[in-house]
Amino acid sequence: METAVRLPEEFKERMRKMLGEECEAFFESYEDDKMQALRINTCKVPVSDDYMRIAPINLCRPVPWAEFAFYYSKEERPGKHPHHEAGLYYIQEPSAMAVAGMLKAEPGELVLDLCAAPGGKTTQIAAAMKNCGILVANEIHPQRAKVLSQNVERLGFRNVIVTNETPERLAERFEGYFDKILVDAPCSGEGMFRKDEAARDEWSPDNVAKCADRQDKILDCAVKMLKPEGRLVYSTCTFAPEENEGSITRLLERSGQMEIVKPHNSYCFSEGRCDWWDSAPAEIADTMRLWPHKLGGEGHYIAVLKKQGGFEGVVKELTPLKEKLVPGDYIEFADKFFKKAPKGNLYMFGEQLYMIPGGMFEIDKLRTLRIGWHLGEIKKNRFEPSHALVLGTERDNLKNVAALSSDEREIYAYLKGETFMSEGENGWCAVTVDGYPIGLGKRVNGLVKNHYPKGLRWQG
């Protein structure tokens, strides 16, 4: 059948062979509007808060396979609300939310998100870890790595290390190191055809083959970095068996250490198909496919694996700075800014001050954008707090506050870079919206000077 979305002919032919009579329903799904959803950031919004009740937009219904996630209607614009800038939620494609939950990350673990930009799955993993442990979020492309780092900052996570490396370079450093690894692999993007015209234009059988070859290399690096008994989740947003059942079958053939784990699946996820890939073992049926004509989301494939035996590597810990090396101006600032100064290991990265996760490793010769919680920088021997500092602070730990409401014009003026009036103590203050930290200001006799980052300011 013809659809409003122009699909590549060779893609349609392959899908007819794969789905048979079911292909009509599959193609009809391209006539539907894309599904839109967001996931509430439970590291900022306490679980006890009924955010669905107080949300500034209409949240329609829960996403069944993801905690604290909700669909919203196409009329809503959650990305244009101050709560988005405060990091209270992350806008994410609904099917993509199924992946990170399969990793089952827990506080205190060592976790790697190997292909992490733009950060949807990274922030979902970080929320599960509750700022405890180490989460390395890696992205090979520099510009995408910057976006990843910005999203980690906006949502206020303090235990995330953002790197801009190749999987091969990381595998040299972290052999046998991680408890859990997510590989949301670069793919041909067939599952995004409904909403991404570029993915349709760039598609070809040759590109599918190139993606599959790249996935094999990435998976080999991931296996090398995984601890014995460690968990690996592989996902794509494509329908191509070569990149799904094929990638997992080839991995099992190359590595005698990996086995497929059958995850709990109480949703409308379909099984992987052994008959779509020659030599696929029966266990391929324990992998999962998400189809846009069967659920409220786009196309995805997920496989959960476990590593048996192997080599357990040793990684040097980063020695934390001694207390005497902590800038004195930061200590003075912390006393005025926080009700209770956050505890942790402080580390100077050039002129930048970070609070690093416990057990932090050496970062020499690694391209690194973020090594935990960025507190600020030393300028002319004075400490200047960062945007990340206020976004990573609990709302009940702020001492000097300039409170704004999302119902008033002042918060929108602040996001555009304007000053506003707020009575209180002079000096650095946390600007809040509806009680949640959103940025910094500096109060002088009731006038709050704007320190919202220029690159993030709203236009118009």
Q: Which residues are catalytic?
A: 237
Nearest-10 crossing angle of helices 142-154, 120-129: 40
Residue by residue, DSSP assigns 275-340 as: GGSTT--GGGGGSEEE-TTTSSS--EEEEEEEE-S------PBPPPPPGGGS-HHHHHHHHHHBSS
Under 8 Å between Cβ of 429 and 400: yes
φ, ψ at 430 (rounded to 5°): -90, 125
Q: Which residues pair with 402 in a beta bridge?
A: 431
3-class SS at 247?
Answer: helix
Phi-psi sector, 380: left (phi>0), alpha (psi -120 to 50), beta: left
- Give CA–CA dist 15/9, Å, rounded: 10
* 372, 357 Cβ separation under 8 angstroms: yes
Structure tokens at 431: 């600007």
Instruction: Write out the two tokens for 87.
Output: 């990091």
At 89, list the tokens. Answer: 């939620």
Q: Which two tokens stand for residue 151?
A: 């999203």
Q: Alpha-carbon distance 41 to 22, whole Å?
A: 37
DSSP secondary structure, 396-430, as one string: GGBSSEEEE-TTSHHHHHHHTT--EE--S-SEEEE
How many Å apart are CA 254 and CA 82, to the nearest integer? Answer: 49
